[in-house]
Structure 1
């Protein structure tokens, strides 16, 4: 785990290697170039929940932190603390703001982010924001901030289809030293919500259980783990 501002910690799995590009290859390549210091300025990632925005933001922050001061701020979690959480962030050379749409339309937050953006741009830094919609559709209170964001690099992330989801799960499992057969993937997809966040959380649970039991991720073993988990919740 990497320690970053506000006490937020990045999960070890949030790296470029575990991000399946699929139809989001341009966004992934752009993020890599930001993290390497090759690109600067503002970048906007948009797309529905489960499209990989948070993963790509956290991976960018993790990679950038190897060579520059970087931070990840989940605005949906910290906006209740007030705009003061932005203090000190201009010192960063790479700042990733997740769920920026949570504060769009709030003048105090927009003024703070606009000032932050100007300072970072003057210093040659990079700010990467993520939201559900593109910046041109945000309900801005500060037109100048909307214009700056719209003029930056904007990437619409695509949700993985069924085959891509399977490839993403197998990639994540392989990076953990696990084998996840195609039949097991199909079984999971038929029985659980098909958003990647839920499927990755399920894989985390199965990974821990497989490691403890020294078992492979077969369908009978997964059924056993899920029955055990259901029994524990019912106690």
Structure 2
């Protein structure tokens, strides 16, 4: 069969609360976000591996609290007093600060945002893949404040969460599949949310290129090709 012309169309990711699946691996973190009034010192760090649902959970919280979301690498260009005046702010990917070319300026911006929000009686939610003591912060005052912040964690995904995340990835890409494909993929894949996203991307690209439905046989061939490619790159 001739391969079809493909287009790199944007994926519309659903980030509403109704699209968020609660399982034992994330229930405590979600409950902690939902009880904002109980946060010690009015701030919280949400951690979890890449693709674990931190951004989705942060968006749910932001909608509930009418909060503004900003990525850590945008802080140096942001109006910090204006952000603080919003009273509820999410700073995403804070663990990337040390890798930024303007790391020192970013640390100072986060430090001032932290202080201004708390002075306003607001709430600060920070997301990261790792806890604050692993961020390699150079500004002592910021390091002490972040390390003194309560941390809630999204744990490794269980089968229920992996199933829901696979379904969501397929739905975000508007891909029709049969439900038996989900447990089949979970048994064959590395138990990683980052790997899950890569598998769905590969299945989507291959199905579009070859004009074939995503059956279990087709998925097995794609997974085998991914494994062979990984071995060749090793």
TM-score, length basis structure 2: 0.66
Select the structure of larger CA radius of gyration: 2
State the Cα distance separating 1:129 from its structure 2 match: 0.9
Question: Following the alignment from structure 2 to structure 1, what is the Cα–Cα distance between the partners of residues 22 and 145?
Answer: 29
CA contact (8 A) 2:89 2:125 kept: yes
What's 1:62 paired with?
Answer: 63
Question: Following the alignment from structure 1 to structure 2, what is the Cα–Cα distance between the partners of residues 19 and 149?
Answer: 29
Larger RCO (alpha carbons 8 Å, 6+ apart): 2
Question: Following the alignment from structure 1 to structure 2, what is the Cα–Cα distance between the partners of residues 21 and 133?
Answer: 21
Is 1:165 aligned to 2:158, yes or no? Answer: no
State the Cα distance separating 1:26 from its structure 2 match: 1.5
Structure 1 unaligned residues grouped into runs of 5+: 1-10, 210-215, 227-235
Offset from partner CA, 1:167-204 (integer Å, 9 cap, x none): 4445788999x8852x2102333566654356468779
What's 1:133 paired with?
Answer: 130
Question: CA 1:50–1:171 in 2, change beyond 3 Å: closer, same or farther?
Answer: closer
TM-score, length basis structure 1: 0.66
What's 2:88 paired with?
Answer: 94
Is 1:21 aligned to 2:23, yes or no? Answer: yes
RMSD, aligned CA: 4.0
Q: Secondary structure of 2:22's match? A: coil
CA contact (8 A) 1:15 1:59 kept: yes
CA contact (8 A) 1:42 1:149 kept: no
CA contact (8 A) 2:23 2:161 kept: no
User: How many residues are paired up?
Assistant: 202
